[in-house]
Amino acid sequence: MKPAIKPEKRASTGRQRRPGGRSQRVWEAVAAATESILIEKGLDDIGVVEIARLAGVNPTTIYRRWGDRDTLLMEVLMTHAEAALPLPDTGTLRGDLRAYLGEAASLLQSSFGSALLQLGALALRRPQLQVQRKAYWEARLKTFDELIARAIKRREIAPGLDPGRLLEALGGPLYARLLFTGDAIDSALIDATIERALCGLAGARVRQRRRKPEPTPKRRPRRSGRA
């Protein structure tokens, strides 16, 4: 199992350090080279040999550590996304969600976001990429768990809001515009998405609490027949 990756201080680079001498230096060099080539050429024209040359390592080092190009790319991109989407703390839930979605929109519309979406789709057919994709989703859930816990403590919302459902409700409109309509992901969309998500999920919980179980129909006693 790979050691936990902790973000380095310069989070804007998207790179994160791993403990341990040469291993750390290799990771930083390979991640920096991968990001540089992605920005310059995009996902389709990036290869292990070119990454290794720019990083100053042997291609066999990359194959030995990551197995193939796509596994390396997934790790680099998800590490970049983790650093680009820190846990906001604006003092309100809506402010936190607005800050988070603003950063998410910027990431998704960048070359890194485009590559991450392509690899995410590819992961559906590549079992070796599923572990990283699942780990990334669980990290996002943990972030939203904390956002929700703070909002409950401030009495902005009642307990019971599902972080996964909230993430899905918030992300859907962004992906729809990014992948299908091509319309701008602007502040108006972000604000409307937050309100719909919070009101919709809160309403669903209220309806669920109010829903009463249907009474079990009573059976009439059988009458014995007369001779």
Longest C-alpha distance within the chain, in Å? 103
Overall size of the chain counted in residues:
227
Beta-bridge partners for 6: 17
The CATH architecture assigned to 9-80 reads: Orthogonal Bundle (1.10)
Whole-number Cα distances in Å, 156 to 17, 25, 89, 167: 37, 45, 14, 18
In 3D space, the residue among 103, 202, 204, 87 whose CA is nearest the CA of residue 145 turns out to be 87
Sign of the CA dihedral with 183 first, then 187, 192, and 194 last: positive
In the 8-state DSSP scheme, what is residue 7? Answer: E
Q: Could you report the per-residue pLDDT of 119-163, keeping only the tens digit for each?
A: 988 888 888 898 888 998 999 999 999 999 999 999 999 999 999
Q: Read off the pTM.
A: 0.77
Domain 85-208 sits in CATH 1.10.357.10: yes
Domain locations in the chain as residue ranges: 9-80, 85-208
Each residue of 54-77: pLDDT tens digit? Answer: 999 999 999 999 999 999 999 999
Q: Binning pLDDT at 50, 70 and 90, where does residue 177 land?
A: very high
Instruction: Count other C-beta atoms under 10 Å from residue 198's C-beta.
Output: 20
